A and B are shown apart, each in its own frame.
Chain A
Amino acid sequence: MKRRELLVAMASLAGCAPQRRPRLNVFNWSNYVGTDTIPGFEKESGIEVRYSIYESNEEMLAKVFGGNSGWDVVFPACNIVGPMRESGLIAPLQHRWLDQLGNLEERFQHPPWDRNLDWCVPYMWGATGILYNKKLQPAPEAWADLWDERLRGRMTMLDDPTDSIGAGLMKLGLPLNSVEPDHLDQAKLALLRQKRLVRAYLNAEARDQMVSGDLLASQMWATTAQQAMEASGELAFAYPSEGFPVYADCGVILRESQRKQSAHRFLNYLSRGDVACAAASECKAATANAKARLLLPEALRNNEVLYPPETVLKRGEWVEALAAAGQRKRDRIWTEIKSG
């Protein structure tokens, strides 16, 4: 915070709304742009960008729910886009200001959560699978292998109901987004049986312990797994044979935004091949942009952890927004599993 901003803060403390310079406020996940992404846009457009990061969809939602958060562009996951639209939080996109959408991969031009990209621009995507130590032979290939006695105390599941309950459902051959009470009960029993093998329910924290060799297998996001594999040659990643969850984070413009044109300009900028390529290669995340992917260095472009081949990707299922009743049942199950 510089002196000027201090004065502004003081002024707003005293109750007078500060005079803002024309700019754009962007709220995004951490580690999702390159070092030059934002400065590049500022230079090109003359717009000052205020860029801030959040940790979870819920944190972002809580902020923007009131409709006067001050943010212009945010990046919800694909299963949040629908609810945000229904709640009147996001503005429809003006395609005449977005001439770079053609760069997106085919499957992101007409995604199931927003058939014509009327509301969102897919940015990065990822999937959940199994990170394992190569010492583990035969190597795990399916969610069912995480129920194997030999992993007792050396395996973690994600501390995330969507992914963990999802693994239980898929192991049983049931759909990832199921809200059928019967399906969910079966998954619950499976996960309760698995719990005695599970060392802990952890997210990115499991990464260090995979690298150090404490753990033999972890349910893990592909992006995080990639980081661990770069640090240790002992590790490998599997996309489970029963299927796996796939998610995408998408840029949207908030309805409250007073700077919709600049916001479009920013989303369009992010969709440019060179820009998306720079961000994706620096963050080591999977871009939704086909043109950017072509520009990536060879090793990254053909990385099968970040970009599984078509045959594997076929098994992926998009994470969807769930109805209230199903959500409640899932939360009750999750509570029971975690406190068992």
Chain B
Amino acid sequence: MKALRFWMLAPSRALMGGLFLAPLSIIAAYSFLTRGTYGGQSTPWTAENYVRLLADPLYTLILARSFWIAGLSTMFCLLLGFPLALFIAQSGRRKNLFIHLVMLPFWTSFLVRTYAWMFLLRDTGLVNTLLQWAGVTGEPLPLLYNEAAVVLGLIYGYLPFMVLPIFSTLDRLDKGLLEAASDLGATPWTSLWLVTVPLAMPGIVGGCVLVFIPCLGAYLTPDLLGGGKSMMIGNLVQNQFTSARDWPFGSAISLALMALVMMALWTLQRRQKEDLL
């Protein structure tokens, strides 16, 4: 019994230790160094990077905005993803086909998909052209380059991360339970709320975490669909590792962000008594 569990866990332990924790410790070390004259890292050791991050309200603002946008996107993903997962789980023999249809757009490059959205949303784009043609609006609507466009892009980008975990729990749902509920006089809506949703809870929590976290760190969507006008924490980190060439500060921001999210997950787990992993 023990032996099997040991061997099941061993490959992941080795891989995550060697290829994730060890590299991450390098970043942890960087975060206490100073930017060199032309980038890179150099001594002295210092906590200045963290002080700089916490002392400046600008960075707090960016962080708060990122949580807001990521939260909003996650909520919409759940509102769209749950019904879709339920539909797929109930579609019998064709469910594999439907699941693949969800993933299909994601085998194209992220950049290409985002460019397609830019075309759809711009002033002379498809959506505005159709709206004007239908007489809904005279002037083109400003659909692109605002926070709504960022949220839309994030929903689009991470919807499968919500659908897949929910689907994989709903798929096991015992039809008999629903029939029993309706025999006892429950309407479809009550049995959805009292039977289906609780059973899908592990998938819902998993999906929300899988969507929320990458949304929080997103940087290309705010740049391309948001027009780079409302920076998110992902852009800040990205800039430190690229144009600013300040790896120590970038490392400090990332570690602080990771600590924050880990704490949130930990609280969630304690309250939920559902462990995700």
Contact = CB atoms under 8 A, between A and B. Distances in A.
Interface string B220-231: 000110111111
Nearest to A160: B243
Interface in A95-138: none
B244 A328 contact: yes
Contacts of B227: 156, 198-202
A213 interface: yes
A86 B224 CA distance: 35
Given A83-B38, A324-B36, A339 B65 contact: yes
A193 interface: no
Interface of B: 35-40, 58-59, 61-62, 65, 115, 118-119, 122-124, 142, 144-145, 223-224, 226-231, 235-236, 239-246
Interface string A217-256: 0000000000000000000000000000000000000000
Given A195-B229, A212-B124, A331 B38 contact: no
Given A328-B244, A331-B239, A339 B38 contact: no
B231 A335 contact: yes
B145 to A, nearest CB: 4
Interface string A293-337: 000000000000000000000000000010110011011101110
B53 to A, nearest CB: 12
B123 A214 contact: yes
A208 B244 CA distance: 28
Contacts of A340: 229
A82 to B, nearest CB: 8
Contacts of B35: 324, 328
A321 B38 contact: yes
Contacts of B230: 338-339
B229 A201 contact: yes
Nearest to B243: A161
B244 A56 contact: no
Nearest to B235: A338
Contacts of B240: 331
A331 B142 contact: no
20 contacts: A58-B245, A82-B38, A87-B38, A161-B243, A200-B228, A201-B223, A201-B229, A202-B228, A205-B115, A209-B122, A212-B122, A212-B124, A213-B124, A214-B123, A323-B37, A327-B244, A328-B244, A331-B239, A334-B244, A339-B58
A42 interface: no
A156 B142 CA distance: 15
B124 A214 contact: yes
Contact of B242 (A58, A65, A209, A212): A58
A159 B244 contact: no
A86 B145 contact: no
Nearest to A153: B142
A338 B244 contact: no
A213 B122 CA distance: 10
B116 to A, nearest CB: 12
A338 B229 CA distance: 5
Contacts of B62: 335, 339
B46 to A, nearest CB: 14
A332 B65 CA distance: 18
Interface in A23-58: 56, 58
A335 B122 CA distance: 25
A61 interface: yes
Contacts of B142: 153
B223 A159 contact: yes
A334 B224 CA distance: 17
A263 B242 CA distance: 27
Most B-side CB within 10 Å, residue of A62, A87, A159, A200? A200
A235 to B, nearest CB: 15
A198 B229 contact: yes
Given A324-B35, A331-B243, A159 B228 contact: yes
A328 B229 contact: no
Contacts of B115: 205
B58 A200 contact: no
Nearest to B230: A339
Contacts of B242: 56, 58-59
Contacts of B223: 159, 201
A335 B236 contact: yes
Nearest to B140: A214
B37 A58 contact: no
Contact of A335 (B40, B119, B124, B239): B239
